[in-house]
Structure 1
Amino acid sequence: MKVTKINNLKTNFNQEKKPLIAIWGFFDGWHLGHQMLLKQMQDLAKQQHYQTLVVSFDVKPQNVLLNKNEPILLSNQDKQQFLSNQQVDYYCELKFSHELASSSAEEFINWLVANNVQAVVSAKDIHFGAKGQGNLATLQNSPLKVFISQDVFDENNKKVSSSYIKELIVSKNITHANKLLNRDGYTVTGTVVHGIKEGRALGFPTANLALSDNYVVPGVAVYISQTEVDGKWHQSMTVVVLRDGKLLVESYLLNFDQDIYDKVIKVRFLSYLRDSVAFDSKKALIEQINQDLVQTITYFKNAT
C-alpha cells in the first residue's frame, strides 16, 4: 500500500497515472459499514481493472470546523495499520484545515480526476466540499463513474455508524460494539504511568494508561480484556474509573509480573463484567475482585 500525506488539493500523488477507483471519508472505527464500502470498491476494482484508493483526513472535520475535540475510535496509525492488511493500493491522508474546508466540491472532484481517479463508490446521502454543497448529483454530473454503496444495519435495524458504536461503548455494551466493529475487540493504546497504586495495595497491581489519543473510553465499569505488551497479548481485567473528573483505564494482567512503566501497551475490551461500585471494606472489595477473576478465567476457557 502506497501511503501519501497531502496538505492541499494542489498536490498529486498518482505519478504512475494508474486508473483508480476511490472512496473517501474520516472512517472512524473502520466498522462493518466502512468495510462493506471497502469491499464494494475492491470487487469493482477487480471487475473493471482499477487500482484502489482510500482518501481520509488527519483529523475529524467537525473538530476543525466547529472547534471541537470529539473522541475517536481509531488513531491515524490504527487506520493505516488496518488498511495495510486489506489489500488497498493507495492511501491518501489529507490534512484537514479551514483552507481545505473552503475548497468547492468541483475542486475536490478535479483533484481526483487529476490523479486519474475514474470511478468512486459513494453513499446516497453524501455531502462534500465547502459547506457540504456537493452531493450525489454533483458526482453523477462529473466525469467520474459513480457506484452507490449500501447501508449496513444491525439486528435492531439501527444503521451501523461511528456515532452509534461510540454510544454503545460509552453505555458499556462492548460486546455489541465489537460485533459492529467486526474485530477482536475495541482497542486503545497508551503509555503505562504511575497511579495511586490502589490495586497494588490490594494484591492486584494494575497498568495505568495515559492514552496516546483522544479515544472513546468505555463507561465506568470492570471489563474482561486482553492487554498487549511487547507484541504479546495477555489475559486481563480492565477497570475504567472516574478520578478527578477524568476517565482512567487501568488493566490487571493475569499471571504477569513485570515492570512495564513507560511502555506503550494496548488494551482490548472484550466484554462487560460489572459496574464499578463502592465497597464497605477492603476485604469485601478483594472478595469481589477474586470473583471477577474467576469469571474472567472462565470466559477465556470458554473462548478457546
Structure 2
Amino acid sequence: MQVIEISEPLDLQKIPNEDVVLAMGFFDGVHRGHQAVIQRAKQIAAQRHLKLAIMTFDRFPKIYFRNIDPQAVKYVTPLKQRLKRFEQQGIEIAYVARFDEAMAKLAPQYFVDHFMVDLHAKVVVAGFDYTYGKPNVANMATLPQFAQGRFDVVTVDRQVLNAEKIGTTQIKTALDQGKIEKVNQLLGYRFSFPGKVVHGEARGRKLGFPTLNIQPAKDQWIPGIGVYAVRVKVDDQWYQGMCSVSHNETFGNNPLTIEINLFDFSQMIYGQEVEVEWDQYLRVPVKFESVDQLIAQLKQDQTDTQEYFAKDFK
C-alpha cells in the first residue's frame, strides 16, 4: 500500500496520475461500518478496473471545531494502526491529509475540487453521515451538486448490530465499560494495540505472578478498569495471559497501569514493543485486605482465564 501525506494547499506532484475509486472518512476503529464503505469501494474498483484509494486525516477534525486540546484526544485506532487496517482491507493508495486550520477553513466546493477531483476520483464512496464542511451544507445528499458530474457518488447506509448503530462512539463507550465482547463484535475483529514493555514496581514477581507493564501510545483509547483475558504477541508468537487495568488499589493510590501476567512465558523483554489483544472481561478490580487474599484471587483469575481460552476462545 502506498501512503501519501497531503495538506492544503495540495501538491499535485504527489498525486499519482491514475483514476481511482476513493473511500472517504476518518475511519477511527476501521469497524464494521467503515469496512462496509471500504468493501463497497473495493467492489466498484474491481468492476471499473480502477485503483482503490482512501483518504483519512492525521487527527480528529473536530479538534478545530470544538476547541479540543489535541493532546487530550484518544483514538480506537491511532493513525499507524488505521493504516495497517487499511492495507489488510486491500487499499492500494492511502492519502493522509493534515487537518490544520487551513484545512478546517476550506469551503465545501474547494474541498471537493482539490481533495476529491484532484485525487483523480471517478467514484467517491462514503458513509451516510460523512461531511466535508458544515453538516447542513456539505453532506452526502449535496455531494453530487459539488461533484458537477466529474465523479459518481455512492453512499453506504447506516450499519447496525442488534438494532444499534455501529459507530466509533459506541465502541469507545463499550471499551470504557469493559464490554470487550461487544467491542469485538462492533469492530468485526479482536481489539488490539501495540505497547512498549516498561519497568514497573515488580510487585507481581514478588507475588509469584510476574507481569509485563505495557505503555501504549499516548493517544490510544484503552479499556476501562478491570481484569481481562488477553493475548500478547511477542516476536510473532501469541501468548495467553491475564491483564489488570487498575490503580493497584491494594497498594495505595497509584497511576493507572496495564499489567499482564503471561502464561508459559519467562523472557525479559523490557523496551520491546508487543501487541495486546483483548478477549474477555473477567472482573472488577478489588482492594484486598491482605496480600494473601490478592494472591488467592490471582490464582482464581488464572483459572478463569485458562478456562475461557480452553472453552470460549475462537
The answer, yes or no, to whether TM exceeds 0.5 is yes
Give the secondary structure class of the aligned counterpart of 2:165: coil
The residue aligned with 2:233 is 228
What per-residue deviation string (whole Å, max 9, x for no partner) do you get for residues 75-94 of structure 1? 21111111222221211001
The residue aligned with 1:154 is 161
Q: Are 2:25 and 2:130, in contact at CA under 8 Å, matched by a contact in 1?
A: no
Query: Which residue of 71, 74, 81 maps to 1:71?
Result: 74
Give the secondary structure class of the aligned counterpart of 1:262: coil
Q: Please give the root-mean-square deviation of Cα atoms over the aligned residues, in Å.
A: 1.9
The residue aligned with 1:101 is 104
The residue aligned with 1:210 is 215
Query: Which residue of 236, 254, 263 maps to 1:254?
Result: 263
Q: Are 2:128 and 2:158, in contact at CA under 8 Å, matched by a contact in 1?
A: no
Counterpart check, 1:124 vs 2:128: yes
Distance 1:97 1:274 in 2: 42
Q: Are 1:237 and 1:296, in contact at CA under 8 Å, matched by a contact in 2?
A: yes
Which AA in structure 1 matches 2:224?
G
Name stretches of at least 5 consecutive residues in structure 1 with no aligned partner: none
Q: Are 1:120 and 1:147, in contact at CA under 8 Å, matched by a contact in 2?
A: yes
Query: Which residue of 302, 305, 314 maps to 1:293?
Result: 302
Counterpart check, 1:46 vs 2:55: no
Counting aligned pairs with the same residue, the percent is 28
Change (3 A) 1:217 1:115: closer
Q: Are 2:25 and 2:126, in contact at CA under 8 Å, matched by a contact in 1?
A: no
Distance 1:132 1:245 in 2: 46
What per-residue deviation string (whole Å, max 9, x for no partner) do you get for residues 193-230 of structure 1? 11122212211111112212321121111000001122
1:74, distance to aligned residue in structure 2 (A): 0.8
Distance 2:130 2:256 in 1: 34
The residue aligned with 1:284 is 293
1:174, distance to aligned residue in structure 2 (A): 0.4
Q: Are 1:166 and 1:216, in contact at CA under 8 Å, matched by a contact in 2?
A: yes
TM-score, normalised to structure 1, is 0.93
Q: Are 1:21 and 1:50, in contact at CA under 8 Å, matched by a contact in 2?
A: yes
Q: Number of residue pairs matched?
A: 302
TM-score, normalised to structure 2, is 0.90
Distance 1:291 1:13 in 2: 60
What per-residue deviation string (whole Å, max 9, x for no partner) do you get for residues 252-294 of structure 1? 1111111111111121110001111111221111111111111
Q: Are 2:233 and 2:276, in contact at CA under 8 Å, matched by a contact in 1?
A: yes
What per-residue deviation string (whole Å, max 9, x for no partner) do you get for residues 33-64 of structure 1? 00011111111112233221100011111234
The 5-angstrom pairing of residues 1-150 of structure 1 reads: 1-12=1-12, 15-65=15-65, 66-68=67-69, 69-111=72-114, 112-129=116-133, 133-141=137-145, 142=147, 143-150=150-157
Change (3 A) 1:96 1:16: closer
Name stretches of at least 5 consecutive residues in structure 2 with no aligned partner: none
What per-residue deviation string (whole Å, max 9, x for no partner) do you get for residues 125-173 of structure 1? 3321368741224311123211111111111x11000010000010010
Q: Are 1:26 and 1:57, in contact at CA under 8 Å, matched by a contact in 2?
A: yes
